[in-house]
Structure 1
Amino acid sequence: MSRPTPPGIAFAVATLGIAVFSCMDALMKGLTIAIGAYNTMLWRSLAGALIGALFHFARGPARPAASTLRLHFHRGLVATAMALLFFWGLARVPMAQAIALTFIAPLIAIFLAGLLLKERIDRRAIVASLIAFAGVLLILAGQARMELGREAFAGAIAILLSAVCYAYNIILMRRQALVADGREVAFYQNVTVGLFLALAAPVLAVVPDAEHAPALLGAAMLATLSLFLLTWAYGRAETSYLAPVEYTAFVWASILGYLVFDERVGPLTVAGALLIAGGCLMAARRKPVPMGNLEGAT
């Protein structure tokens, strides 16, 4: 039996995965503004499938079990809805504000982990959810104060809906990590998302100009790397223990939003993000359970 990975190592790797994912978000925001959410997701997914195939098939992997393929298919469907909602909203909302709204996802994931993965939920989660909800209201109030317009409000609602999908996506990522490695997960997620999006290709697909190719390729590479890192981490620690790493994305979003899109972070957005993060940390605050106690989750 291999030696267990210290939880702190898994936490650090997951944090790096979020940093990589945040850089991908910045590329995707620019692409979505230029060519739309659908075409950005379609071409990034196809590029990601090719990149993923190079790493996945290079080792001559065995064909996944039918149950594992169903899990890949399931997560691909959820990821498609999640990503389209998020990137459509991200094109209309400042990056830091968008990421702050997604902070509600880890809290939802903690409840889902208790329901679906049978992980213990502390009673403080109820109080924490109220604190986090107050943070969401603060962010929306800050948005109204900045007078970003109806488009920004619609974008915020889309991001909140995406956060619900992302919470379930975290649970599916945990399940995948227990039956497949990062290379397999990255390959099949890109393939399934690409296939779902391709269903609308005859009506919506447009071949992007060559000038967008480097950004699309870069986004695909960053997404694949992030998936690999997060899958590795979630295969070695509990969902409720790793969920707080999501909050580090706010720092990256604030920096990248300012440097790339000249976006300012308002005080209500910061206050709201702190409330949501504080609420989620309150709910998740407990010692992680050893991996050996989680075999029944598969």
Structure 2
Amino acid sequence: MTPLGGIALKLASVVLFVIMSALIKAAPVPTGEAVFFRSFFALPVIIAWLIWRGDLATGLRANRLSLHVLRGIVGVSAMGFNFAALGMLPLPEVTALGYAAPLMTVVFAALLLGEKVRLFRLSAVVTGLIGVGIVMWPLLTVSDPTPTVLWGVAFVMASAVLRSLVQIHIRRMVATEQTSAIVFYFTMTSTVLSLVTLPFGWVLPPWEHTAMLIAAGMLGGIAQICLTSAYRGAEAALLAPFDYASILFAIVIGYAVFAEVPTPLMLLGSAVVVASGVSIILRERYLGLRRNRARPGMTPQG
């Protein structure tokens, strides 16, 4: 696969994830029930993909099952908070606030993995979090913010923190676990864990909402496959900036489907967050290229 093909798959995954979120938002059901649909109906897609690749045996092999269970608990909590926020806030705001996750990953990588965070990255993270604050500002400073809005902001930020912790956990998992196994067991774990919420108010949605929720699950599975496959054609540093295209699709879908008009501060804050995130990615790519160029001149000990 060419780098252009990898970029196309990454953009496809971004679009599909935004559409998935819109479908979840358009079909209001209890959060645990939404997580179940998203997870259970992604399973057939993922299993079919593993069979097609000849990786089914690998996908079912877990060297350290406890790592997958922990990843599932944290990941499904992040998904639940995000789905709950979708019912409380406009789609573009949820998308923009979610950009706090990669910024927090930098912080947690320093605290938990001992990675060095130099001044450039630290200043970019601080700038990005200021952008997140700009997005939140109009939501929290209206004359009388409703509890729904306040809880929505809290939920999406909790989701961002948990997603960043998941990324740190996955960095540790890849030392012993295959990517296909990580994908499969997360989907399986989140399906099982979502069933725990069954006694707490699940409903029988009308047929059109049921169709939307099933479609959300299947699109989520396809998006995950596109995302995983994209890295076969292009480096992570090349693909990472395209994550931020999601705000464009979220604004378009939010306006067209939910009549959500983005505020100037939301657009400003999103631009600040995107700029800080892209600057980190480009800086890391530049440093990586410098390290690669330096390696041929090293001594065997260096």
TM (normalized to structure 2)? 0.80
Q: CA deviation at 1:102?
A: 0.7
For residue 113 of structure 1, report the CA deviation from its aligned partner.
4.8
CA–CA distance in structure 2, aligned partners of residues 240 and 163 of structure 1 = 21
Any idea what SS the aligned residue of 1:194 has? helix
Which of 22, 46, 50 is equivalent to 1:52? Answer: 46
C-alpha deviations, 1:25-75, integer Å up to 9, x for none?
A: 1101112xx222221112332222233334334647225443354443333
Q: CA deviation at 1:280?
A: 1.8
Q: 2:71 matched to which residue of 1?
A: 75
Counterpart-to-counterpart distance in 2, 1:235 and 1:123:
32
Is 1:244–2:237 an aligned residue pair? no
Select the residue among 26, 29, 36 that pairs with 2:30.
Answer: 36
1:80-114 superposed Cα distances (whole Å, 9 cap, x missing partner): 10111011111111111111101111122234456
3-state SS of paired residue (2:139): helix
Q: Which runs of no fewer than 5 residues in structure 2 stay unpaired? A: 293-302
1:133 paired residue among 125, 129, 133:
129
- Check whether the contact 2:93–2:266 (CA below 8 A) recurs between aligned residues: yes
Point out where structure 1 has 5 or more consecutive residues left out of the alignment.
294-298
Per the alignment, residue 201 of structure 1 pairs with: 198
Could you tell me whether the CA contact under 8 Å between 2:32 and 2:197 is conserved in 1? no
Distance 1:14 1:172 in 2: 22
Asked if 1:180 is matched to 2:178, the reply is: yes
Partner residue in 2 for 1:150: 147
Structure 1 residue aligned with 2:92: 96
Q: Flag the structure with larger Rg.
A: 2
Is the aligned partner of 1:26 residue 2:22? yes
- Alpha-carbon distance between aligned partners in 2 of 1:173 and 1:273, rounded to the nearest angstrom: 27
2:279 is the counterpart of 1:279: no
- CA shift, 1:8, in A, is 6.2
- CA change 1:201–1:235 in 2 (3 A) is farther
For 1:117 and 1:17, how far apart are their aligned partners in 2? 28
Q: Structure 1 residue 261 and structure 2 residue 261: aligned? A: no
> For residues 155 and 114 of structure 1, do their structure 2 counterparts lie closer, same or farther at Cα, with a shift above 3 Å needed?
same
Identical-pair percentage: 26
What displacement does 1:254 show? 0.2
RMSD over equivalenced CA pairs, Å: 3.1
Contact 1:46 1:194 in 2 (8 A): yes
Letter in 2 for 1:36: P
Judging changes above 3 Å, is the alpha-carbon distance between structure 1 residues 129 and 270 closer, same or farther for their aligned structure 2 residues?
same
Contact 1:49–1:188 (CA<8 Å) still a contact in 2?
no
Alignment size in residue pairs: 284
